[in-house]
């Protein structure tokens, strides 16, 4: 299994996304079973947010992690930009901790940039880390200019990760954000790595090259898409799976490695960016 280091923890590079989990009572038990199956298969990182179902995802996680040791897991939560200032951040963090049923998060992210000054958010995040409520903090939906701005702030370089949209069909961040992050040793957390089951462009699952590579590896095209996001170091990928079989397939995909020819073939189908593109966001 491919591994990634975040805040000195060596973690399996396939984690668990949780957006929309817990939204429906009819699928809830299956979703809990899917999260547990992923953990039993070897996943350790769970990505949630106060925004997801206004706490429903956090609540589902609290139930799903019951059988496991908290210290074995690495739980990521996110604060909404409107709550990321002195007035609200600690209160929102306390609420999220209560929802998940834990007394600390391993990583707490600013979900995206809003109108509260970044410097104020960093001060609050640092304060929360000193209080022990979070082990580390990071950002999400930050582009290169945002990272550079963050690095200029006092303690801004304590940020341990940036979570951005990244999949075969959305390679824009390879132009200058991933190189900047590698230079500064900031891991990428790749969200929507399956392009939301190829519902964004619809160009992936029917692609012949992708299908052929999947056959080579006795894998599904989704497993190939996922393994591709972690083909290089310093990337954690967080697919969401509400179905147990998908959850296990995703963790297993962490073992797939590609030949140079396969990577070249994929880049011919899904080219790397040749110029700066606006940051893709969902």
Distance CA 57, CA 54 (A): 8
Helical (H) or strand (E) element with 207 = none
**Which residues touch 78 (CB under 8 Å, ≥6 apart)?**
48, 49, 50, 51, 108, 109, 110, 111, 140, 163
Closest CB to ligand NAP among 120 and 196? 196
Q: Is 99 in the site for ligand NAP (CB under 6 A)?
A: no
- To the query of whether residue 52 is one of the catalytic residues in this protein, the response is yes
| Site residues (CB under 6 A) for ligand NAP, limited to 131-170 | 140-141, 163
Q: Is 229 in the site for ligand NAP (CB under 6 A)?
A: no
Number of residues in the chain: 282
Stretch that binds ligand NAP, among 16-24, 60-68, 91-99, 126-134 (CB under 6 A): 16-24
Closest CB to ligand NAP among 30 and 94? 30
Q: Is 240 in the site for ligand NAP (CB under 6 A)?
A: yes
Distance CA 265, CA 207 (A): 11
Choose among 150, 109, 108: nearest CA to 132: 108
| Largest distance between two CA atoms of the chain | 54
Q: Is 255 in the site for ligand NAP (CB under 6 A)?
A: no
Cβ 240 vs Cβ 17: under 8 Å = yes
Q: Is 18 in the site for ligand NAP (CB under 6 A)?
A: yes
With CB under 6 A as the contact rule, the residue among 38, 241, 251, 266 that binds ligand NAP is: 241
Per-residue mark of binding to ligand NAP, 54-83 (x: CB under 6 A): ------------------------------
Closest CB to ligand NAP among 19 and 137? 19
Q: Is the dihedral of CA 29, 35, 40, 46 positive or negative?
A: negative
Give catalytic residue positions.
Answer: 52
The residues binding ligand NAP (CB under 6 A) are: 17-19, 47, 111, 140-141, 163, 191-197, 220, 222, 238-243, 246, 249-250, 282
């Amino acid at each position: 299994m491919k591994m990634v280091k975040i805040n000195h923890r060596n973690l399996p590079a396939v984690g668990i996304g949780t957006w929309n989990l817990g939204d429906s009572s009819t699928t809830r038990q299956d979703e809990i079973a899917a999260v547990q199956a992923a953990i039993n298969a070897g996943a350790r990182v769970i990505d949630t947010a106060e925004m997801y179902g206004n706490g429903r995802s956090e609540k589902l996680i609290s139930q799903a992690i019951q059988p496991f040791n908290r210290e074995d897991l690495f739980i990521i939560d996110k604060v909404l930009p409107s709550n990321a200032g002195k007035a609200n951040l600690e209160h929102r963090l306390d609420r999220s901790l209560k929802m998940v049923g834990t007394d600390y998060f391993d990583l707490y992210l600013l979900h995206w940039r809003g109108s509260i000054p970044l410097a104020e958010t960093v001060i609050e995040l640092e304060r929360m880390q000193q209080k022990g409520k979070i082990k580390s903090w990071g950002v999400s939906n930050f582009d290169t200019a945002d990272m550079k701005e963050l690095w200029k702030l006092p303690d801004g370089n304590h940020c341990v990760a940036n979570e951005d949209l990244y999949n075969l069909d959305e390679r824009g961040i390879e132009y200058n954000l991933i190189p900047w992050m590698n230079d500064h040793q900031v891991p990428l957390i790749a969200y929507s790595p399956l392009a939301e089951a190829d519902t964004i462009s619809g160009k992936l699952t029917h692609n012949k090259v992708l299908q052929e590579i999947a056959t080579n590896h006795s894998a599904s095209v989704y497993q190939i898409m996922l393994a591709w996001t972690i083909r290089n170091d310093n990337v954690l990928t967080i697919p969401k799976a509400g179905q147990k079989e998908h959850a296990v397939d995703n963790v297993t995909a962490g073992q797939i490695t590609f030949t140079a020819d396969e990577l070249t073939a994929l880049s011919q189908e899904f080219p790397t960016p040749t110029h700066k593109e606006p940051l893709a966001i969902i």
